[in-house]
Amino acid sequence: MKKILLLSFTISLIFASCKNKKMKKDIKAPVAEKKATRLEKHGDVREDNYFWMRLSDEQKKAKVKDEQTQKVYDYLNAENTYYDEMTSETKEFQEKLFEEMKGRIKEDDESVPYKQDGYFYITRYEIGGQYPIHTRKKSTLEANEEIIFNVNNEAKGYDYFQLGGLNISPDNNMVAFATDTVSRRQYFIRIKNLETGKIYKDIIENTTGSSVWANDNKTIYYTKKDPVTLRSSKIYKHALGSDAKLDELVFEETDETFSAFVTKSKSKKYIIIGSYSTVSSEYQVLEADNPDGEFRIIQPRERDLEYDIAHYGDHFYIKTNKDGATNFKLMKTPVTKTGKENWVDVIPHREDTLLEDISIFKDYLVLEERNEGLNKIRIKRWDESVDYYLPFEEETYSAGVYANPDFDTDIIRYSYNSMTTPSSVIDFNMKDKSKEIKKEQAVLGGKFDKNNYLSERIWVPARDGKKVALSIVYRKDTKLDKNTPILQYAYGSYGYTVNDGFSTTRLSLLDRGFVFALAHIRGSQYLGREWYEDGKMLNKKNTFNDFIDCSKYLIDNNYTSAKHLYAMGGSAGGLLMGAIINMNPELYNGIIAAVPFVDVISTMLDDSIPLTTGEYDEWGNPNNKEYYDYIKSYSPYDQVKARDYPNILITTGLHDSQVQYWEPAKWVAKLRELKTDNNTLFLHTNMEAGHGGASGRFDALKETAEEYTFFLALENKLEK
């Protein structure tokens, strides 16, 4: 215990006032050059002093840097140097925290095998390996292992490496695969012969990474991205062994608010092209046995009509919001008559239940639903003789169905975990209701006992009368009072719901007396589709208000105090962080905003930036004055003012394709210019990575250790 207290004291020193530390006196925060750029829209003028930080991809790739590029790199490197110098005394603790988190992981782990077309596929790791090894075994698990890819070998020589999109040909002899070595999610697709180990010369550039084989084992469909906006907009057909420059354009999505993708039905009968926007979708199909045929549209796109398709027998099954089905319903239509006038209900719409997904088997239909915020898995026989839900007993948990590629089976595979229960992979027999736990997540180190932790769900009254769920987890011996440190987390956009799941890394906070609180704010679909609709567009401020109301509840009800409350969010969750510290900075002692989307108005006005046009129905199109005014009123960069702010750590990646690095860089520069406090403000830029951070599993742990150290150091400063 004395060693721990001494270590805590050491790491807390870094955040002490500079006037009391001679060695920190001369470390000055970088000051970015101010160069005013006048931005005018709808008669409103904004003056952006840091607009010059924006670089094109060509500038970043150039070996010889021009003056502007050099200035940007110098600034980002200066911020990194400042961060490293100011946190130098925490490096030893960060390393120990990393080893602690790494020590809970079974390094030589492997996935539960799944069977597809006569082969068992397994992903495994070796001790010390950063990356997975993809393998398979023919017919039985006792067969010799075939290594498809050892990604540790493929990644040698790269600072960042991502291998994905593995797609086995129908005859099992070839695999299409995708690689990204920049972290900008622009993948190369290549093809490997699994019998000879030869990699074909075919190289397809600038794709999403996914691909689909036709049933002839020589035709591949894939999606190309726009080289500037990165919108996935073109579907091509490639013949094995041919020059990719000769590939045939099969479909082009010309509506800039839509993106496109290509996939294959589980039945393997159809190649499917999907087009989607925030509020509309459209599908086309082609028999996979006829790759030279013409695609036919299922139902032409209509604004506010969303649908997904799955094939079974003589019908397409359609999850849709047709007929005002806000929470979606399931319909079906004959494969020969696919227009919406032919759709008939299979599972009707329910006001209290969100239909999230379906899985089709020969004898069963499996529905993934959400009711009162909780995952439900419903199993029905096609002959309607069986209809039941899998039983889950904890107050809050996460459960989800796997891909389950086998069609003719009674076994469904699903996962289950909660904030206190490690993840399990379970095979459930839908016929006799027996189950087999195929794998339980191992938590090594000999210190974890789930009985030492508690989780609960609190319903927080929001300012407009709605109830917001707040899931919390903590050690049983942690006393909840005004001195308790709490880390509050949320996302709150795109209808994405963060489930109440287990985390081995989070134990490093819980075991040091922190409470973790996950706020299920509007903008997610935790309480159904309306919960999402009420947190986007002209309702976006509900997202921020919900988070703040949860924070105030924790403080007012003596779970913690403003001196011990921390917040964290990434990407659109980073926007959330920017908004709440502009609205109520006094509520938080520290925040981390990871790859934050903070210059909302400028980004949404620039349709050359990746993702902009496809998100008009998420945030609103600021070319319309009503949306311009509303977005500007919460855009974190535009709302920075001369005031006190909490301690802040902001992270970004130079090659981020989702949120361009200059947004957080500009935000930090403006905060440094205007904030009136002496609190910590750090910008840490990963010069080799993008939106998802480091690619290796251990490098990702090191990033988590840095983040946790930021919070732990702040908390220990207050304790001394």
- Per annotation, catalytic residue among 349, 656, 657, 695: 656
Residue 703 is given by DSSP the state H
Can you tell me which residue has the tokens 């099954």?
A: 317
**Which pLDDT score is estimated for 59?**
80
State pLDDT tens for residues 614-645: 889 999 999 999 999 999 999 999 999 999 99
Highest mean pLDDT among 91-100, 192-201, 338-347: 338-347
Task: Check pLDDT > 50 for residue 18.
Answer: no
**Which pLDDT score is estimated for 15?**
40
Sign of the CA dihedral with 399 first, then 403, 409, and 413 last: negative
Q: Are 271 and 235 in contact (CB under 8 A)?
A: no
Distances (CA, A) of 126 to 106, 111, 129, 152: 9, 12, 5, 10
Six-digit token string for 166? 């593995």
Where is pLDDT greater, at 133 or 13? Answer: 133
State pLDDT tens for residues 640-681: 999 999 999 999 988 766 678 999 999 999 999 999 999 999
Task: Check pLDDT > 70 for residue 20.
Answer: no
State pLDDT tens for residues 55-84: 887 787 777 788 999 999 999 999 999 999
The one-letter code for the residue type at 479 is K
Whole-model pTM?
A: 0.89
What does the DSSP assignment read for 153-170? HHTTT-SS-EEEEEEE-T
- Return d(Cα 652, Cα 650) in angstroms, integer: 7
Q: What is the mean pLDDT of residues 415-434?
A: 96
Q: How many CA atoms lie within 13 A of 215 on its CB side?
A: 14
- Return d(Cα 201, Cα 203) in angstroms, integer: 6
State pLDDT tens for residues 176-204: 999 888 777 788 899 999 999 999 988 99
Beta bridge partners of 568: 489, 592
- Per annotation, catalytic residue among 238, 315, 520, 691: 691
**531 pLDDT band (50/70/90 cuts)?**
very high
Judged on CB neighbours under 10 Å (0-12, 13-18, 19+), 682 is: buried
**Which pLDDT score is estimated for 700?**
84
- What contacts 250, CB < 8 A, 6 or more positions away? 221, 235, 236, 237, 273, 295
**Which pLDDT score is estimated for 26?**
75
State pLDDT tens for residues 309-335: 999 999 999 999 999 999 999 999 999
Task: Check pLDDT > 50 for residue 570.
Answer: yes
Q: Are 128 and 536 in contact (CB under 8 A)?
A: no
Q: What is the mean pLDDT of residues 129-158?
A: 91
What does the DSSP assignment read for 415-440? EEE-SSS--EEEEEETTT--EEEEEE
What average pLDDT does the chain have?
Answer: 91
> Strands of 329-334's sheet, edge to edge?
307-312, 315-320, 329-334, 344-347
**Which pLDDT score is estimated for 656?**
66
571 is catalytic: yes
- Per annotation, catalytic residue among 232, 418, 524, 571: 571
**Which pLDDT score is estimated for 19?**
38
- Return d(Cα 598, Cα 53) in angstroms, integer: 15
The one-letter code for the residue type at 393 is E
Sign of the CA dihedral with 665 first, then 669, 674, and 676 last: positive
**Which pLDDT score is estimated for 307?**
98
- Return d(Cα 422, Cα 502) in angstroms, integer: 6
**Which pLDDT score is estimated for 14?**
38
691 is catalytic: yes
Distances (CA, A) of 269 to 140, 214, 282, 357, 577: 26, 9, 19, 20, 46
644 is catalytic: no
Can you tell me which residue has the tokens 């089709």?
A: 360
- Return d(Cα 490, Cα 1) in angstroms, integer: 33
Tell me phi and psi for residue 415, to 5 degrees: -115, 155
Q: Are 358 and 317 in contact (CB under 8 A)?
A: yes
* Interior angle at CA 347, CA 345 and CA 348, nearest 5: 70
Distances (CA, A) of 562 to 173, 513, 514: 60, 16, 14
Task: Check pLDDT > 80 for residue 717.
Answer: no
Q: Determine the 3-state secondary structure of 706 from DSSP.
A: helix
**689 pLDDT band (50/70/90 cuts)?**
low
Task: Check pLDDT > 50 for residue 13.
Answer: no
Task: Check pLDDT > 90 for residue 285.
Answer: yes
Per cent of the chain over pLDDT 90 is: 78
**161 pLDDT band (50/70/90 cuts)?**
confident
β strands within 441-556, DSSP E: 453-461, 467-475, 486-489, 515-520
